Every structure is written in structure tokens, then in C-alpha cells.
Amino acid sequence: MGGDFPFRTINGKTGEASGGTMNVREGDLVRMRVYNASNREHAMHMHGHDITIVSRNGHLIPKRARQEITTFNISSGDFVELEFRARNPGNWIFHCHVPHHTSNTMLSGYNGSPIGMTRIVHYEGSPAVPPAYFAFAG
Ligand SMILES: [Cu+2]
């Protein structure tokens, strides 16, 4: 990795240890606060939903300048607030799109699932995410 630290986390933990799922109900307006406390830029990506950045580093983005996106870069030390409307029931991954930040030491979870910088948006009433999803598979 050219000297890059080979192990990345969300809230200091990986996979299931990161707090499991972020639970939502269909129709919720979900707001997430993302702070990059690492020394590398990350490309955070949401599956199943378009997200809107509403502020960066405490500066509100005017509504007319907001866009629906699925991926955003967050630099070291940056703080981003984003929103999305929960209207696509299921289990959806929110993760860094830099492969070795998500795979951590080039290992992956069950069936190739990412276990590093990963959280799952879980809708109430959707099947639970199997614990094996986050287990190291080598
Ligand atoms: Cu990353």
C-alpha cells in the first residue's frame, strides 16, 4: 500500500463490531454525520439510496446547490453531514470505495463481503444481516 496503514475502521471498529446496523424505518429522513479522523482521504459510497450533502465542515450548503449523489470524498479532518430518505427497504451497505480500506489487510468477509470501513443500513422488518457476513473468510 505504499506505506498506507493497512487497517481502516468506522468508529474505531470493523464489521459487526462497528455497532452492527444503522436501523431505519421506511419513510425516515436519515441524517448522518461523518468525520474523517484518519490520515487519508476516503470515497464514501451509499448503496440503494441517493444521498445529499447538507453541510461540510460546519458550513451549510444552500438548498439550490445540493445534489443527489451516491459517493463523496471526505478529506482528512473533514466533517460532512448528509441526508437521505429511507424509501428502499432491505439491507444496504455504506462503505469506503477504496478497496483496501474496505477489505482491511486484503482479507474479506463471508462471500467476499467488505468488513473494513463498512456499515449497513437496515430497514425495520427486513431480514437480519447474518453474523457470518462479517466473519473473516480469509
Ligand atoms: Cu477509505
Task: List CB contacts of 77: < 8 A, sequence separation 6 or more.
Answer: 36, 37
Which pLDDT score, from 0 to 100, does residue 13 have?
Answer: 73
Give the model's confidence band at 4: pLDDT under 50 very low, under 70 low, under 90 confident, else very high.
low
Distance of CA 96 from the midpoint of ligand 1 (Å): 5
- Give the residue-averaged pLDDT of 121-131: 88
Alpha carbons 134 and 131: distance in angstroms, whole number: 6
Distance of CA 98 from the midpoint of ligand 1 (Å): 5
Distance of CA 41 from the midpoint of ligand 1 (Å): 6
Which pLDDT score, from 0 to 100, does residue 110 have?
Answer: 54
20-29, 57-66, 71-80, 107-116 — which is least confidently predicted?
A: 107-116
Distance of CA 56 from the midpoint of ligand 1 (Å): 18
Which pLDDT score, from 0 to 100, does residue 101 have?
Answer: 80
Domain boundaries, the chain: 15-134
- Give the residue-averaged pLDDT of 87-94: 94
pLDDT above 90: residue 30: yes
Distance of CA 34 from the midpoint of ligand 1 (Å): 12
> Which residues make up the environment of ion ligand 1, defined by Cβ < 5 Å?
42, 96, 98, 101
pLDDT above 80: residue 105: no
- Residue keyed to cell 468506522: 10
Give the model's confidence band at 1: pLDDT under 50 very low, under 70 low, under 90 confident, else very high.
very low
Distance of CA 15 from the midpoint of ligand 1 (Å): 14
Which of 100-104, 113-117, 118-122 has the largest mean confidence?
118-122
Alpha carbons 20 and 71: distance in angstroms, whole number: 21
Which has more confidence, 95 or 113? 95
Alpha carbons 96 and 116: distance in angstroms, whole number: 8
CA angle, 100 then 56 then 79, to 5°: 50
- According to CATH, the superfamily of the domain at 15-134 is Cupredoxins -  blue copper proteins (2.60.40.420)
Q: What are phi and psi of 101, to 5 degrees?
A: -80, -25
Distance of CA 31 from the midpoint of ligand 1 (Å): 20
